[in-house]
Amino acid sequence: MQTTDNTIFITGGTSGIGRGLAEAFHKLGNKVIIAGRRKKLLDEVAAANPGIEGIELDIADPADIDRVAARLIRDYPSLNVLINNAGIMPFDDAGGRIDDTQSRSIIDTNLLGPIRLTSALIEHLKRQPRATIIHNTSVLAYVPLASTAVYSAAKAALHSYALSQRFQLRNTNVTVQEIAPPWVDTDLIRKSGDPRAMPLDIFIEKTMAGLATDAEEVIVDEIRALRDNPGSGEHAFVHGFNESVVANPIPV
């Protein structure tokens, strides 16, 4: 994508990867609008980065998505980049009883939220001279973490959706890119300084470099082997991956 001269809307832009991307694009001179549920956090990011604007949005609420989409189209007619970044990552146990309320929240936020928001903005994006949709999935879309089974499944579904959407938009001016982060040291789980987690600044630097290309997927080299998880051998691969996590638990 072209990383300058854009008007960009980023969901989940008050912390972690979302804030990192917002600030990186802002530094390049783009107009950046961030979304989040808490006005206080939106105001804090805007105050730290004069020029960034914030909009309250509950990405799990279809009516709120429609409200915000209408406001974006009205107030930011040059909007041409949508970054679907908002997400939640509760732990669960697929070997036991799954909490239905939690599962619905994960799916509404991580899968249906991006689908609904993209759908609400897609005709506007098609009218722009150039436009880009960026979906933030996860390396867990390819190699599920068993202790976050619903989250991993939702990210796998969003990856599949991005593949279909890219094909459907092949003859338009809208491109679709996907970023699939590794474990990044943010508050998505709990910021802990664990050496297995990639520092946020390094992840943002590498991801911005990847987004500046025509790459359909932006994958940092550190997780290339996980992205290339072999088809017929994936059962043993996934089992081994999760055994290693059990042996060295993720701090929660």
How does residue 197 score in pLDDT terms, banded at 50, 70 and 90?
A: confident
The answer to whether 103 and 92 have CB atoms below 8 angstroms apart is yes
Residue 252 pLDDT > 80, yes or no? no
Q: Is 88 exposed, middle or buried (0-12, 13-18, 19+ CB in 10 A)?
A: middle
Compare 186 and 87 and report the one with higher pLDDT: 87
CA dihedral for 186, 188, 192, 196, sign (positive or negative): negative
Q: Which of 76-85, 162-171, 224-233 has the lowest mean pLDDT?
A: 224-233
In the chain, what are the domains?
A: 7-247 (3.40.50.720)
For the question of whether the overall pTM of this predicted structure is more than 0.85, the answer is yes
How does residue 196 score in pLDDT terms, banded at 50, 70 and 90?
A: confident
pLDDT of residue 92: 96
Amino acid identity for residue 55 in this structure: I
Q: Give the residue numbers annotated as catalytic, written as ranges.
A: 151
Number of Cα atoms under 13 Å in the Cβ half of residue 105: 11
Distances (CA, A) of 128 to 29, 123, 172: 19, 9, 10
* Kind plus residue range of the DSSP H or E element containing 179: strand 174-179
Tokens linked to 198: 């990639």
Alpha-carbon distance 123 to 252, whole Å?
41
- Give which of 89, 80, 85, 82 is closest to 36, Cα–Cα: 85
- Mean pLDDT for 68-94 is 97
pLDDT of residue 250: 74
Residue 156 pLDDT > 80, yes or no? yes
